[in-house]
Amino acid sequence: MLTAFARAFKTPDLRKKLLFTLGIIVLYRLGAHIPVPGVSYENVQICVDQASDGNNSLFGLVNMFSGGALLQITIFALGIMPYITASIILQLLTVVIPRLEALKKEGQSGTAKITQYTRYLTVALAILQGTGLVATARSGALFSGCPVANQIVPNQSIFTTVVMVITMTAGTAAVMWLGELITDRGIGNGMSILMFISIAASFPAALWAIKESGKLADGWIEFITVILIGFVMVGLVVFVEQAQRRVPVQYAKRMIGRRSYGGTSTYIPLKVNQAGVIPVIFASSLLYIPALIVQFSNSTAGWATWIQDHFVKGDHPYYIATYFLLIVFFAFFYVAISFNPEEVADNMKKYGGFIPGIRAGRPTAEYLSYVLNRITWPGSLYLGLIALVPTMALAGFGGANQNFPFGGTSILIIVGVGLETVKQIESQLQQRNYEGFLR
C-alpha cells in the first residue's frame, strides 16, 4: 500500500490532485479555528473546558459534522450541515414535485439546475441555523451550567448579531465552494472529503478523553479496549457496506441490419445498506426536536420533566427503543423513495432485458421489490445496532460520550468515504500503471 502511495505521488497529474485536495483540507481546518467577530474567545474556551465531556449532547451531531467548530463558534461553525440538509430536502422533493423529477431525467443540464437550487437552499438554511446558533449563544443555552455562558457574546446589539449571522452564512458558502473545488480539481467527492476530515479531527481528543477518565491502569485498559472495538467495528462496517445482492439480467440479441446487438449478461447490484447513513441522520435530527423544545421553553411542567428524563440524556430505554425504530423506519422509507422497481423494470423491458425465470414488466418490478425488502431488513437492523454503539459505550466507559468515536454516524461516514476515495485513487492508478491501489 505504501508503494502505491509513492507511485501515486510520482504520477504528475495525480500528484497535483492529491496536493490540491490536501491544500483545501488545510484551509478548511484553518477556518474551523477562526472565531466569529463579536464572540468572546476566552469565555468560549472556559465553557468548553468546564463541560463534563467537552461537548454538548444536544448539539453533538452538528458539532461533529463541523469538526468541533460549532461549539467554538468559528466562521465555519455551521460546517457542511446546511448543505447536507439541503441535499436531502431536494432529494425528497424530487419524488414529490413533478418539475424536479423532470429536471432529474434531463441529464447533466437538469442535474446542474438541481445543484443550483441546492446552493440557494443551503444559503437560506445557513441564515436560519446561524440565527438560531447566535440566539442560543446569547441566551447562554449553548453551554448550560457554565458560569460565563451568558458572556459568550458580550455585545448583544442588533448590528453585532447581524454581522455574526452574515459571517457564518459566508463561512457555509465558502465551505460549499471548497467542497466543489475538490470535486472538480481534486480526488473524491468534495463534500464527503470535508465531512470525513471534520469527523476524523475529533478522534484524537475523544480517544484521549476516554484514557484520561479511565480507572484501570491509568486509563490505558479502557483506551486499548476502545481501539480494539474500533478495529472490529471498522471490519464489520466494511463487510456490510461492500455486501450486495446481484440480481442477474439477460439482454436478448437484436438484429439491426447485418449486425447483432445485445445478448450480454449483467446484474443489478442491490446493496444490503442501500440507504447509507441517511436514516441515522434523520432519526438523530428528529430526536433532537423534543430536547430543543424543552431547552428553549424553560418550562417546569410535567411533560417537560418527562422529556428531560427520558429523551435528553440518551441512555434511557425509551430513547434507545425510539431511536432504533426510527432508524429502521427511515431505512425503508429512504430506500422506497430512492429506488423505483417499476422504473427499473420499464427500462429493462425497453432495452430487451429480463431477469431469468421472471417475466418482463410488472412481475419483474414485484420481484425487485421482494428482493429489496428482504435485504433492507438486515441493512436497517445493522444501522440501528451501529448507531447504538455510543449508547452502549456510555454505559461501559465513563469517558465515552454520545460522540464515541467508533460508532454511530461517524464510523459509517468515515468508512464509506474512505472506501470511495480509495476506489477513485485505484481507478486513476489503473489507467496509468495497470496495477491497483491494493494488491
Per-residue pLDDT reduced to its tens digit, 160-210: 889 999 999 999 999 999 999 999 998 888 888 888 888 888 788 777 877
Q: Evaluate whether 415 touches 238 at the Cβ level (below 8 Å).
A: yes
Q: What is the pLDDT of residue 262?
A: 59
Q: What is the pLDDT of residue 297?
A: 64
Residue 90 CB contacts under 8 Å (≥ 6 apart), including other chains: 100, 114, 117, 118, 121
- Give 10-residue mean pLDDT values along the chain (439 residues): 72 87 92 87 77 50 68 84 86 84 83 90 91 82 73 85 92 92 88 86 79 75 82 86 88 69 77 85 78 66 72 72 89 87 86 84 90 91 83 55 61 84 81 59
Q: What is the pLDDT of residue 175?
A: 92
Cα torsion at 367, 371, 376, 381 (round to 10°)? 140
HSE value, Cβ hemisphere, 13 Å, CA-based, for 236: 17
Q: Evaluate whether 75 touches 29 at the Cβ level (below 8 Å).
A: no
Q: Is the pTM of this model over 0.75?
A: yes
CA distance 394 to 323: 15
Output the CA–CA distances (angstroms, integers) from residue 43 to 37, 141, 433, in the order listed: 14, 14, 54
Query: Length of the chain in residues, anyone?
Result: 439
CA distance 319 to 341: 34
**Nearest Cα to Cα of residue 114 among 94, 85, 96, 97:** 94
Q: What is the pLDDT of residue 399?
A: 44
